[in-house]
Structure 1
């Protein structure tokens, strides 16, 4: 007999405004404890020193995490010009320096080369795997290795502030798998002055915004209370970028059992991925084929 999970069956999203100095996993554990939830996970890791939106999925909402992970995200970050570090942020050691300082026009002239379909090399201190091992582990052990470039979609990259000659504040909107530290590093190299990330904030991720997130202090204060649970947002918000169809009552019953079910669809093409709802509640995600949804994920709400 399978062991019953400890905790409450609660499903939905809690949006957190992550503070600096805390890992994404620690935030998830804090939320899970505060809501006494059986199951929780996050949609997209933030570096420990980064701040901003971390969307924590609870219960059945964990099945929608891939849709938030794949969604566009926006970052505001500051590049420290004139220095390269081995981690591409302030946590590492300075490995190169330059007295050269670019003008605003120099920076703006290069930003276009970072937009669109680009190939980006992740930092050596990152969680990408090299021959089955995390790159950061190999880097800490002093191993010599190369990280392969990966495709990335960058929607927009703008210079928004120049506090002084040593710093430039940028805003980037990108798809899945983008490393802001790589942008800072590569921009500094192209400018001939080196660069690394001084600070980083994720402003929004898919439908979730940092300004609407709870602080860790809020979560601590409201832990184990109905007031905290009132901040849990519907599972369906994780499907904001996926088209919706309406399940018939008979179709919903079939879908809940993992079988194709009849749905009412408008503007949906054969083979499109969509999610079926009945009375506003998600029943399943799958592919639309000839009046039926063929489920790939079923929600037990």
Structure 2
């Protein structure tokens, strides 16, 4: 018999303003402990050295994680010019240097090639799986991999500041699967001066903003208190980009049992991915099929 998970059946989202120096997994563990939650996960890993929005899903909110990981995200970061590292960030070892330094106009011109639909090769030290093994584990073993390029949509890549000849501060708004370290690496190569990420901050991710974030110190201070519970955002926040359908009472019952349920009102077209609510609570996510919602995920709230 499977062991029953300890903790409360608590559901919702907590936005943590992740500090540098900790892993995303350790933040999830800390939040789960602080809220005494049975189940927790996060919507998009941040490297240990990175800071900013780490959205933690508790309980039934974990069923909505894909809708956040698929959403647009904003990153502000500093690129250190003149050196390449084996990790493409400041945590790694310098493997090559260059004397050239581009002008601001040259940087601006080079950024154009990284906007729109691009192809991006992940860093050697990344969570990409190679025959079931994480790339970073292979890289730590001293093996270099030929990683395949992956598509990425970059909505915005802007030069924010040039503190000195060795640094450029940028903002990138992109879709799912973006590696800021790859942008820094490839930009440095395009400019002929090499480059890596000096620091990185995720400003927002889908519906979650850094301004909503709670520090890890505050999580620890408020652990196991009603005050921390009050910081939770509802499950349906992650569904903001999907149309909401109001369900008939009998439709809500059918959906909770995994069956198609009747919809009272809809602002969607047949075939659209939507979520259905009853009495202010999310019941299911699924496909709207002319008067009914066909569920793919059902919430037990």
Indicate the TM-score class for this superposition, using the shorter chain for normalisation: over 0.9
Match of 1:36 in 2: 36
Q: Aligned partners of 1:91 and 1:4: how far apart in 2?
A: 40
- The list of structure 1 runs, each at least 4 consecutive aligned residues, that deviate by more than 6 angstroms after superposition, is none
Match of 1:91 in 2: 91
Match of 1:264 in 2: 264
Specify the SS of the correspondent of 2:31.
helix
Q: Aligned partners of 1:122 and 1:139: how far apart in 2?
A: 12
Q: How far 1:264 moved relative to its partner?
A: 2.7
Q: CA RMSD in A?
A: 0.9
Match of 1:183 in 2: 183
CA contact (8 A) 2:124 2:144 kept: no
Match of 1:205 in 2: 205
Q: How far 1:102 moved relative to its partner?
A: 0.7
Match of 2:154 in 1: 154
Q: How far 1:4 moved relative to its partner?
A: 2.5
Q: Aligned partners of 1:138 and 1:184: how far apart in 2?
A: 22
Q: Does 1:72 align with 2:68?
A: no
Q: How far 1:131 moved relative to its partner?
A: 2.0
Q: Does 1:172 align with 2:172?
A: yes
Q: Aligned partners of 1:179 and 1:144: how far apart in 2?
A: 18
Q: Aligned partners of 1:99 and 1:207: how far apart in 2?
A: 42
Q: Aligned partners of 2:144 and 2:90: how far apart in 1?
A: 22
Q: What TM-score results when the alignment is normalised by the length of structure 2? A: 0.98
Q: Aligned partners of 2:157 and 2:167: how far apart in 1?
A: 16
Q: Does 1:18 align with 2:18?
A: yes
Q: Aligned partners of 1:4 and 1:137: how far apart in 2?
A: 32
Q: Aligned partners of 2:120 and 2:265: how far apart in 1?
A: 39
Q: How far 1:2 moved relative to its partner?
A: 4.6
Q: How far 1:144 moved relative to its partner?
A: 3.1
Q: Does 1:123 align with 2:123?
A: yes
Answer with 30-39 or 262-271: which moved more: 262-271
Q: Aligned partners of 1:50 and 1:144: how far apart in 2?
A: 24
CA contact (8 A) 2:79 2:197 kept: yes
Q: Aligned partners of 2:80 and 2:48: how far apart in 1?
A: 18
Match of 2:229 in 1: 229
Q: How far 1:183 moved relative to its partner?
A: 0.1
Match of 1:285 in 2: 285
Q: Does 1:132 align with 2:132?
A: yes
Q: Aligned partners of 2:4 and 2:124: how far apart in 1?
A: 40
Q: How far 1:26 moved relative to its partner?
A: 0.3
Q: How many residues align?
A: 301
Q: Aligned partners of 1:141 and 1:236: how far apart in 2?
A: 42
Q: How far 1:266 moved relative to its partner?
A: 3.3
Match of 1:219 in 2: 219
